[in-house]
Chains A and B, each alone.
Chain A
Amino acid sequence: MSLLMMSGSGAVYLLAAAGIIGIGVYGLLSADHLLRKLLAMNLLGSGVLLLLVTLASRGGTPDPVSHALVLTGLVVTVSVTAFALALLDRLYRETGEIRIDAASDDPPDPADPADAKP
Chain B
Amino acid sequence: MTLALDALLALALLALALGAVAGAALFRSIVMFIVFGVVLALAWGRIGAPDLALAEAAIGAGLTGALLLVSYRRLVRTTPRRTPRSRPAARLALPLGLLSAALVLGLGASGFGLEDTTTAGAGTVAVPSTAGQAVLAEMASLPLDNPVTAVLLIFRGYDTLLELTVLLAAYLGARLALGGSPPLSARSAPAALPMVGALLAIVVPLSALVSLHLLHAGSDAPGGAFQGGAVLAAAGVLLVLSGRLRAIGSAPTSQRLLLVLGTLTFLGFALAARLVGAALFTLPGMWAIYLIESALLLSIALTLVLLFAAGGGLAWGRE
Contacts and interface: CB of A to CB of B under 8 A. Distances in A.
Interface of A: 1-3, 5-6, 8-33, 35-36, 38-40, 42-43, 46-47, 50-51, 53-72, 74-83, 85-90, 92-93, 97-102, 109, 112, 114-115
B78 interface: yes
B49 interface: yes
25 contacts: A13-B47, A18-B105, A21-B100, A22-B100, A36-B21, A39-B20, A54-B108, A57-B128, A60-B126, A68-B148, A71-B148, A76-B163, A78-B64, A78-B67, A85-B68, A88-B71, A88-B75, A89-B71, A90-B178, A97-B78, A97-B81, A99-B80, A101-B85, A102-B81, A112-B83
Interface residues of B, number: 107
Interface of B: 2-3, 6-7, 9-11, 13-14, 17-18, 20-22, 26, 29-30, 33, 36-37, 40, 43-44, 46-49, 51-52, 55-56, 59-60, 63-64, 67-68, 71-72, 74-75, 78, 80-85, 87, 89-90, 92-94, 96-98, 100-102, 104-105, 108-113, 116, 125-129, 131-132, 135-136, 147-148, 150-152, 155-156, 159-160, 163, 166-167, 169-171, 173-175, 177-179, 183-184, 226, 300, 304, 307-308, 310
A76 to B, nearest CB: 5
A43 B18 CA distance: 10
Contact of B128 (A2, A28, A55): A55
A38 B300 CA distance: 23
| Main secondary structure on A side of the interface with B | helix
B211 to A, nearest CB: 15
B171 to A, nearest CB: 8
B108 A65 contact: no
A13 B80 CA distance: 38
A5 B51 CA distance: 27
A63 B170 contact: no
A28 B21 CA distance: 8
A29 to B, nearest CB: 4
Choose among B89, B111, B125, B150 the residue with the greatest number of A CB atoms under 10 Å from its CB.
B111
A102 B85 CA distance: 10
Give 4 closest A-B pairs by Cβ, nearest first: A22-B101, A2-B113, A26-B97, A114-B82
B20 to A, nearest CB: 5
A51 B166 contact: no
B147 A89 contact: no
B75 A82 contact: no
Given A51-B104, A86-B177, A64 B82 contact: no
Nearest to A51: B108
Choose among B22, B128, B178, B183 the residue with the greatest number of A CB atoms under 10 Å from its CB.
B128
Given A25-B96, A99-B80, A75 B59 contact: yes
Given A23-B18, A39-B21, A12 B7 contact: yes
Contact of B151 (A29, A33, A60, A68): A68
Contacts of A92: 74-75, 78, 184
B82 A71 contact: no
Contacts of B13: 16, 19-20
A67 to B, nearest CB: 5
A11 B102 CA distance: 14
A61 B67 contact: no
Contact of B112 (A10, A22, A35, A88): A10
